Amino acid sequence: MEYDLKRKKWDISNRKCLMVAKSIISDAIRGSIPDCDTAIEYLKKVESQFTGSSKAYVNSLIKKLFNEKYSGGGIREHILKMSNTASKLKPMDLGLNDEFLIYLVFASLPKEYETFVVNYNMQPDK
């Protein structure tokens, strides 16, 4: 008898959790996740859905770093934007070392900044 009461409470709680989880998730994501009997199973499927998308996010960040070109404006903002993009890779254990980031920044600069690059390369303590 006691088990039946607890099971009924659990069923009600589980159903409410599923309704809340499904109502919060956008329609595009919800459509790609199969229905489950328990909220725990549903949340695990949601988690597995986003594991693949984090790889796509890493891929887009790396492409952005390698294809980034200086488009005018402040050089400082350009360097900070590239540094910010590189810092987003660190939590995913893909952080770039500073020297490599510097060379990526130099590669993104136009010819008019060539003296800046040459002066940096001539420094003995680089």
Spatial separation of the C-alpha atoms in residues 25 and 35, rounded to whole Å: 13
List pLDDT tens digits, range 89-101.
887 778 788 888 8
pTM for this structure? Answer: 0.54
Spatial separation of the C-alpha atoms in residues 7 and 90, rounded to whole Å: 45
List pLDDT tens digits, range 24-55.
887 777 787 888 889 999 988 888 777 666 77
